[in-house]
Amino acid sequence: MLEIAPPSPTVGGRRALAVLLVGSLLATAVYLGLFHFVLTRPMTLGDMTRMIDRKEKIAEAVGPGAIIIAAGSNGRYSHSCATLSELLDRPCANMGVAASIQIDFLFDWVEKVAKPGDLVYVPLEYPLWSADRSDFLSDDIGPAYFSKDVATLSELGWDRLAHGAFAFNVRFAIESVFEKLLVRMGVARRVGVTASDLNDYGDMVGHDAKAAAAYSDYLAKVRWRVPNNAISDTTRALVSNFIKAMKDRGVVVVGGLSTTFDDQPVPDSVIAPWRALFEDNGAAFVMLPNKSQYPRSEFFDTTAHLQQQYQIEHSVALAPLLRPLLPPLQASSGS
């Protein structure tokens, strides 16, 4: 039986394939170059990375036996390191930035600055408890650090790096153009990293009752639901690994609760698994009698953001719970 061999690729066919391949590589290079160097978002992601840089410098500079607040924006709005430092006679660094930053980055960031004898207090926001890998791949760190620090992004995993590199779209490009125009016009965001926004401890400041008046109508209407007690496997593994890494370094980890509205009590059944996650891994857990819940009138612009007066009061209440957990100060080498 006569077999007919398949036709061999023609020179024209090979040339077309080569042109397609080269074109695809060039298009990818142009895409990555545009979003790495040109189409950044200086007002949103830029301010966030500048805040991270400032807080990292604060944490690196604090003395021995420091208290470190590790959370999202409830860390910087609802917790006062200035108050804790005064009451507990320890240096303090508030590393809270935003809940849109997932905890793989947060823990990696804290691990870089925590020193033996420090105490890390972790009042993570409720939505972060149940975040899984898909949530991590869609947070703000990917596009922010693709433009700023690819090496740090790659530390979080190659999937984080890949999603960071290809997270951009037409909407991002349009927003980038508008943000750049606003910056040129001298427009600033409501919250930034100036001395009127953050103090030398990394705490949010200036969010007093007068400033909160603009958000009172919104706060009265914003929907709030009692959190559930779901803790994702990803979060469970990250918290466990973080506690172990800190224990090996001589750092005390203390779990806690985010501030939130007191419309309804958060049930003990919601809190119990979160407490157990810390205590079962050898860390401590503290909880105020009110479960860090406060009236809406005491918040600034959303749930989890207390006004400055109540930020201080909340920190005053926390101080006696943290005091017995502080590691003893290590004697200096010159003593």
Residue 7 belongs to a domain: no
Is residue 332 assigned to a domain? no
Q: Give 176's contacts (C-beta < 8 A, 6+ positions apart).
A: 38, 39, 40, 41
CA distance 8 to 241: 56
Range 140-143 contact pairs with CB under 8 angstroms and sequence separation of 24 or more:
140/45, 140/48, 140/98, 140/100, 140/101, 141/101, 141/102, 141/105, 142/167, 143/35, 143/41, 143/45, 143/167, 143/168, 143/172
Residue 37 domain boundaries? 15-325
pLDDT for the residue numbered 290 = 98
User: Domain tally for the chain?
Assistant: 1
| 320 within domain boundaries | yes
pLDDT digits (tens, 9 = 90+) for 47-76: 778 888 999 999 999 988 999 999 999 999
Average pLDDT over residues 278-295: 98
Q: Look at residue 335 and tell me if it is in a domain.
A: no
% of the chain exceeding 70 in pLDDT = 82
Is 6 within a domain?
no
**How confident is residue 27, by pLDDT bands cut at 50, 70 and 90?**
low
Show the DSSP H helices in the chain as ranges: 11-33, 45-61, 73-78, 81-88, 103-113, 126-129, 133-136, 141-148, 150-155, 158-165, 170-184, 209-212, 216-221, 233-249, 268-279, 308-322
The separation between CA 61 and the C-alpha centre of its own chain, rounded to angstroms, equals: 20
Go through 243-264 and write b for each residue having 16 or more CB atoms within 10 A of its CB, e for each that does not: bebbeeeebbbbbbbbbbbbee
The answer to whether residue 5 sits within a structural domain is no
- At 35, which CATH number? 3.40.50.1110
Q: Is 135 within a domain?
A: yes
Could you tell me if residue 107 is inside a domain? Answer: yes
Q: Which two tokens stand for residue 268?
A: 């003990």
Q: Which of 124-133, 164-173, 256-265 has the highest mean pLDDT?
A: 256-265
Find the range with the poorest average confidence among 118-127, 136-145, 310-319: 136-145
Q: What is the pTM of this model?
A: 0.84
Q: Is the confidence at residue 315, as pLDDT, over 60?
A: yes
